[in-house]
Structure 1
Amino acid sequence: MGLAARIEKNWYGRAAGNLWLLPLWLIFVVLSTLRRFWYQLIKPQPSAVPVLVIGNIAIGGTGKTPLITCLVRLAEEQGIRVGVVSRGYGGQSDSYPLLVNEATPVAQCGDEPALLASMGIPVAVDPNRARAVEALAGKVDLVLSDDGLQHYKMHRNGEIVVSDVTRGFGNGWLLPVGPLREPVSRLRSCDLHLVNGQDFTIQPVAYMTHQETSAPSTLAGQTVHAVAGIGNPARFFTTLRALGVKVIEHPFPDHHAFADQDLEFNDELPVVMTEKDWVKCRELNHPRIGFLRVSALPTDDVEQKLVRLLNKLRETSNG
């Protein structure tokens, strides 16, 4: 096991194994505290459109992207026009802000923006998220920020923090001793804290290939190569096993840029991946790849809270 893997293992185990990182931890605590204090002192200018941040305080995947698509659906049901802004991690554009559409190369915008844009959602990408928000002003009634909880340069009108029921907040330490970007006390200042696996679940809704769309249950009993370049690959593998799939695991780093050789396993078994990975692999035209489309399903109580928050923000005027 490599050094990085051992450090991450200790994030979700005994912090004692990472205490040798205390000098770096102290630097992180000082810098992050000063940074937040600075933006509390020098508040960013309000944007022309209300902003709701969907982010986390811990490193790793928590199901933010399916939750964002759920929020888009709920907003549309309320007659609220919604757009999404993102840093565009994994992409590199010659100019920003970048308005993303279905034809925008993933190499320019990143995988998550490409996925959201493929669903017809207005998306703007910019490392400076405040600038991306302004690019959507006048086009939408509300902007959702995909991550960016710690991007204090961007004004926000509401915050949703997302965590995972299995990982929680790990050993409770800030980086690099633990997985936290901010202390757990940060939850007190957000509008909602939603736990994936408790307040909402990620449900598979379709299995899709180049050729056809079918029910997820069609995978039951099959042995597949499961490919996942997301923040928490184990969650995807667990979802497949719950469908009765025999899984050969192939985890990759989050936002991995796939190449042909990553999907060659010298057999005829299907290759199943997440939709976020599919947007990077669809041009490869590999004959046996498909993806599992998923949807976030909130509890009735949480759905009501989300609808109330969306309507409250729609009435917000930053002017």
Structure 2
Amino acid sequence: MSAKPSRATGQMPRYWYEQAPVPLHARLLAGLYGGVVALRRRLYRDGRRSRHPGVPVVVVGNITVGGSGKTPLTIALVDRLREQGFTPGVASRGYGRDDAGQARWVDADTDPELGGDEPVLIAARTGAKVRVDRDRVAAARALVEAGCDIVICDDGLQHYRLARDIEIEVIDGRRRYGNGRLLPAGPLREPVERGAGCDFRVLNLGEDREAGGGAGFGEWPMRLRCGEAIPLLGGRPRPLSAFAGQRVHAVAGIGDPERFFAMLRGLGIAVVPHAFPDHHAYSEADFEFGSRLPVLMTEKDAVKCTAFRTGLHFSVPVSAELPEGFWVALLDRIGARGGHSCGNEERIR
């Protein structure tokens, strides 16, 4: 059964996020998938199958397929925890990398095809130790052995073998849960109730100029701030306002490319959009647009384009901002659970 959109096209079924009928076969498969998900959660509920690395573990994830803002939040977590005296490390699967079976350390110079685009971005932005491994337990243990005293697991909400102290669900503020159905009838990896059981629920509202409403009860709003375009060939950053009134090629290979395009349009930039599948492996041919305009791309895309960058290519980094109350509550929870005294059954409901 298909558990995600095609990597070849990046297209999600219309009925996931639009008012369209769900095919019968998708509904039947969703019932089967739901049974497998429920059985797997029961197997891990008592905690006997899970393993803890011995330091606090914070898991960042979502219950929908596709991007929701996990990477900017992970970067913000690393930065804030470091300010508080922690030595954080990041464990990730490294989705889409060529040697997925090989565990490795990732830094800013790692080839994204080997380390994964998001781990390379996290390493470049934070300088933290980043370990990619399909076995997140092994990755967490490697980070502890390397001197980390807290582990952030990027996109690990469904990786139940790694016991966790704090779970953070990230929700796309524009699309939320779509039609609310499980895969493949809808975008949900797990039932909506699973998210309600997380310690924190963060609603990604994007950039200030985006519509999308406010956070609901029990949700912490997250804004993504941007203001500069970084030349890939080096040199001084340019304010995004410098592109206002100009036509640009906008490139996004993320879970929701339209979010990036809308952000640029909100700044008065005339966008020629180029949407690619999430985690797309770029080639020089992908940028043969037929006109020599500036090319603005997400930071996650830019780390994969250094081999054929030109003076027209710019990266647009974003930074996650959350209310101070979120950080106070999170640090308080980390302090209370630093000894991982809570049983894993509390994390898997």
**Aligned partner (choices 161, 164, 174) of residue 156 of structure 1:** 164
Cα root mean square deviation, aligned: 2.1
User: Are 2:91 and 1:85 aligned?
Assistant: yes
Letter in 2 for 1:159: E
Q: Residues 258 and 303 of structure 1: is their aligned pair in 2 closer, same or farther, counting only changes over 3 Å? A: same
Letter in 1 for 2:200: L
Partners of 2:101 and 2:134 within 8 A in 1: no
Cα displacement string for residues 87-119 of structure 1 (whole angstroms, at most 9, x for unaligned residues): 011113386431112232111111001111112
Structure 2 residue aligned with 1:187: 195
Structure 1 residue aligned with 2:123: 117
User: Are 2:52 and 1:30 aligned?
Assistant: no
Stretches of structure 1 that go unaligned for 5 or more consecutive residues are: none
Structure 2 residue aligned with 1:104: 110
Equivalent residue pairs, number? 316
Structure 2 residue aligned with 1:208: 230
> What is the aligned-residue identity percentage?
41
Distance in 2 separating the partners of 1:306 and 1:243: 33
Structure 2 residue aligned with 1:279: 303
**Aligned partner (choices 118, 127, 145) of residue 134 of structure 2:** 127
Letter in 1 for 2:258: A
Q: Residues 57 and 215 of structure 1: is their aligned pair in 2 closer, same or farther, counting only changes over 3 Å? A: same
Structure 2 residue aligned with 1:237: 261
More helix by share: 1
Q: Structure 1 length normalisation: TM-score? A: 0.93
Q: Residues 175 and 96 of structure 1: is their aligned pair in 2 closer, same or farther, counting only changes over 3 Å? A: same
Q: Residues 98 and 190 of structure 1: is their aligned pair in 2 closer, same or farther, counting only changes over 3 Å? A: same
**More off after superposition, 12-21 vs 29-38:** 12-21
Quote how far apart the aligned CAs of 1:74 are.
1.2
Structure 2 residue aligned with 1:168: 176
Letter in 1 for 2:301: D
User: Are 2:99 and 1:75 aligned?
Assistant: no
Q: Structure 2 length normalisation: TM-score? A: 0.85
Distance in 1 separating the partners of 2:243 and 2:330: 33
Quote how far apart the aligned CAs of 1:310 are.
4.1
Quote how far apart the aligned CAs of 1:316 are.
4.3
Structure 2 residue aligned with 1:226: 250
Distance in 1 separating the partners of 2:328 and 2:56: 20
Quote how far apart the aligned CAs of 1:288 are.
1.0
Distance in 1 separating the partners of 2:51 and 2:97: 27
Distance in 2 separating the partners of 1:100 and 1:317: 31
Quote how far apart the aligned CAs of 1:156 are.
1.1
Distance in 2 separating the partners of 1:317 and 1:205: 42
Q: Residues 108 and 6 of structure 1: is their aligned pair in 2 closer, same or farther, counting only changes over 3 Å? A: closer
Partners of 1:88 and 1:110 within 8 A in 2: yes
Partners of 2:69 and 2:204 within 8 A in 1: yes
Q: Residues 219 and 48 of structure 1: is their aligned pair in 2 closer, same or farther, counting only changes over 3 Å? A: same
Distance in 1 separating the partners of 2:287 and 2:193: 42
Stretches of structure 2 that go unaligned for 5 or more consecutive residues are: 1-5, 206-214, 216-220, 343-349
Partners of 2:91 and 2:151 within 8 A in 1: yes
Quote how far apart the aligned CAs of 1:313 are.
4.7
Distance in 1 separating the partners of 2:113 and 2:180: 35
Partners of 2:296 and 2:316 within 8 A in 1: yes
**Aligned partner (choices 254, 266, 278) of residue 290 of structure 2:** 266
